[in-house]
Amino acid sequence: MRGLRGTLAVAAVALLLAPGTARASDQADCGSKQVLDSDPVRFVAACMNLAQEGYVEALFNLGLIYDTGQGVARDYQEAYGWYLPAAQQGFAPAQFNLGNMFYYGWGVPQDYAEAARWHRLAAERGHAWSQHNLAWMYLNGQGVPKNQAEAIRWYRAAADQGFVLSQHDLGYLYATGRGVEQDYVRAAMWYELAAAQGDRRAASDLNYMRARMSPTQISDAERRVEAFMPMDVY
């Protein structure tokens, strides 16, 4: 099983900023990875201007660069200070990153319960990474009471969005009957969906499963794969 993975809610700073009274140049600069790479002082100044006007994406972007050390010295406490107001406004990527900070103790005291709280807030907004991480925490009783039914629910929410890690882990749970009735067809379905996205472990597990399935079961799983339509949330 895979636990918490990833530090960032986005791979790069390229968020679109909502229209408002801020200068268009600030909006363009604060949303530009190119500006961050070439002129981090200009990037930070633009984001600061927008943050003062309450732009939640600018708050997040400032947290992100301090979190990752892009253009500035890495400073988890500074990152926390920018993420927090964005998260309090309901911005799921900031909630996700706060969840990871509390889980690992990056710039804040390690606190699994607080990590679960932030991941839950993001998960309820449809953030697939947080849904996956919350599922893991329920499965292992970290910050929340161990609850396999809740773990399955959140894995399924992320897997339904096409989130490859959850698809693999859900396949594993159905294959082993952990928290659910053992079901090779459903296991093969989720493994195949994950394998189609390049998950090598899922591909290996799928081959293992198929060697133990009847032709009817294999056909049933393939029909389910063909019928699968991922939800578009986060």
71 within some domain: yes
146 within some domain: no
Residue 67 structural domain: 8-89
Residue 103 sits at the vertex; the CA angle it makes with 101 and 107, to the nearest 5 degrees, is: 35
53 within some domain: yes
Per-residue pLDDT of the chain (234 residues; tens, 9 = 90+): 333 433 322 323 344 455 455 578 888 888 888 888 899 999 999 999 999 888 999 999 999 999 989 889 999 999 999 999 999 999 999 999 999 999 999 999 999 999 999 999 999 999 999 999 999 999 999 999 999 999 999 999 999 999 999 999 999 999 999 989 999 999 999 999 999 999 999 999 999 999 999 999 999 999 999 999 988 755
Count: domains in the chain: 1
Which residues lie below 8 Å from residue 140, measured CB to CB, with a gap of 6+? 3, 146
79 within some domain: yes
31 within some domain: yes
2 within some domain: no
34 within some domain: yes
183 within some domain: no
Q: How far apart are CA 159 and CA 197, in angstroms?
A: 12
Q: pTM score > 0.75 for this model? A: yes
DSSP output for 29-79: HHT-HHHHHH-HHHHHHHHHHHHHTT-HHHHHHHHHHHHHTSSS---HHHH
